[in-house]
Amino acid sequence: MPGELTKSVLIDAPASVIFKALTDEKELVQWMPRSARMDARVGGEYEFRFYAAARDAETTARGRIVELVPNRKLVYTFASSRDAPGAPPSLLTWTLEEEPGGRTLVTLVHSGIGADAFHLFLGWAYYLVQLAFHCPRMPVRT
C-alpha cells in the first residue's frame, strides 16, 4: 500500500530564492543532484542524476511537472531507477509559505511511496538541510 511522508524546514530566505533553487538547473546541482535537466513549466520533464559514493552507484529520477505556481508551489511525478520494475511514479509536492522577516516555510510531501520509504525519509531530510544551507548564500534580487 502506497504511503506518504512530509518534511518541513524554515529557511532564512525569500520564497523567490528557494523557488529558483527548486527549478533552475544551475541551482539544483549546487544542493541536490549531480546533474539536472529541468523544463520548468506544467507538462515539462525533468531528469536528476544522483551519485552515492558509499554504494558507488548512480540513481536517476525522472518525471513531469503537473503543477507550478511561481514562488509558491511545485508538483511533479517522481520515478526512480531504484523503484521496482513497473512501479507507478510517486508524487512530490513542494510548498513555499513566506513568513515574517523574509523567511520561508518549505514543506515537502512525497506521496505514493512504497517499500523504500525509510531511505526516502533519510534522503529528503538530508536534501532539505542542503537546500537550507544553499539558499541563504544566494543574493536576493528584487
pTM, entire model: 0.89
pLDDT of residue 138: 55
| C-alpha R_g of the chain | 15
pLDDT of residue 122: 85
* Mean pLDDT, each 10-residue run in order, the chain (142 residues): 86 95 96 95 96 80 97 96 84 96 94 80 90 77 46
Give the sign of the dihedral formed by CA 132, CA 137, CA 138, CA 142: positive
Q: Residue holding cell 546533474?
A: 35
**Per-residue model confidence (pLDDT) at position 51:** 83
Confidence (pLDDT) at 83: 78
CATH of domain 3-137: 3.30.530.20
pLDDT at 139: 53
Beta partners for residue 97, in sequence order = 105
- Give the integer Cα–Cα distance in Å for 86 and 17: 36
Asked whether 59 and 80 are in contact (CB, 8 A), the reply is yes
Which secondary-structure segment (H or E) carries 37?
strand 35-38
